[in-house]
Amino acid sequence: SPSVRFYAFPTVSLIPPVIGRIKGTGCSLLLVAPLWKNQTWFPELVQLTAAPLWPILLRRDLLSQAKGMFGIPDQSCEAF
């Protein structure tokens, strides 16, 4: 079996298509998404999880890129 591991951190508008791709291909990946239980895609996402949700603590330096760090909205995120 391949040792490639995938992850995705899509914008919120791309979460439903990512869920569709996961269901269509049966692939396994780490998905970073907001913990928004009232979203229509949330129950489907929870059904696809293979492990307990993994909370990501909000930190100022959580995300960075070549020209420095950038912030994320003040909200809860989980890894599915």
Query: Would you say the C-alpha torsion 11, 17, 23, 25 has a positive or negative sign?
Result: negative
Write the pLDDT tens digit of every residue in 60-72.
Answer: 766 666 665 555 5
* Cβ neighbours for 63, distance < 8 A, ≥ 6 positions apart: 69, 70, 71, 72
Count of domains forming the chain: 1
List the beta strands (DSSP E) in the chain: 6-8, 29-34, 54-56, 64-65, 68-69, 77-79
Query: Is 34 part of any domain?
Result: yes
Query: Is 46 part of any domain?
Result: yes
Answer yes or no: is pLDDT of 78 > 80. Answer: no
* Residue 78 per-residue DSSP state: E
Tell me the whole-structure pTM to 2 decimals: 0.71
Cα separation of 10 and 45, whole Å?
13
Query: Is 63 part of any domain?
Result: yes
Please tell me the predicted confidence (pLDDT) of residue 79: 57
Please tell me the predicted confidence (pLDDT) of residue 21: 92
Query: Is 1 part of any domain?
Result: no
Write the pLDDT tens digit of every residue in 2-58.
Answer: 566 888 989 999 999 999 999 999 888 899 898 999 999 999 999 999 888 888 887
Q: Residue 50 sits in which domain range?
A: 6-79
Query: Is 28 part of any domain?
Result: yes
